[in-house]
Amino acid sequence: MRILDILARLEEHYPTALACEWDNVGLLAGDGEAACTGIQLALDVTDAAIDQAGRNGANLIVTHHPVIFRPIKALTPLQPVYRAVQRGLAIISFHTNLDIATGGVNDCLAAAVGVTGCAPLCADGLGRVGTPHRVCGPADYARHVRQCLGAGGVRCAPGSRTVQRVAICSGAGGDLVDAAVAAGADTLLVGEAKYSEFLYARQRDVTLIAAGHYATEVVVLPALKEVLAGTVPIFLTDEQDVEVFL
């Protein structure tokens, strides 16, 4: 099976046509015609992902975050893409298309925290909005999220209302407070948010919970493994969140 065949399998489930215009997705490095010997799944192309791919005999890394995002003006050993290509690894990155697609990151995040009856939050398909596992207060819900995701901690700007409708956006979604309000949500769960976004959420009386970029996105890796099952050996990268709550 070629690396391009792996790309085609992923494309069936998470079409690259769904990606935002500014994004960079697909086969971003390596020879698509090469036979795939194994797949290393990771959120990012890191030293750990590269090293574990080598130990596992995998010549393809599939990530969520694009290994090449902004234009490259220089290529040095400090860059992960340099080290990966030097070792003969190919890289496929599925970013916003994996966020938007059915069964992608946001659906996996919703399932992980028990939000059901989901619909897209934004017109472009980003995010989800649905019903929480039970009605509770903001602090209790923040603790529930932390436990479900195994997050080291969460940041929360509690609103005054009980949690009855939850908007979700994995990763950096703190700018979606207005979208949450428009969708009738009293709570917005994201990976990360700015201080100013917490302030704005308070003004709109929306509970804003930031559970960590890594914690809200790593939930998709088992789904990717299931989609790719039966192709070649697949390995999940053993890596810890770089954001540590002390």
Cβ neighbours for 203, distance < 8 A, ≥ 6 positions apart: none
Residue ranges for the known binding site are 64-65, 99, 213, 217
Closest CA to 87 of 55, 114, 117: 55
* Number of Cα atoms under 13 Å in the Cβ half of residue 174: 22
Stated as kind and residue range, the H or E segment containing 197 is helix 195-203
How many beta carbons lie within 10 A of that of residue 184, not counting itself? 10
Closest CA to 30 of 56, 69, 67, 74: 67
CB of 193 closer than 8 Å to CB of 204: no
Distance CA 125, CA 111 (A): 17
CB of 89 closer than 8 Å to CB of 60: yes
Distance CA 206, CA 161 (A): 8
Residue ranges for the known binding site for a divalent metal cation are 64-65, 99, 213, 217
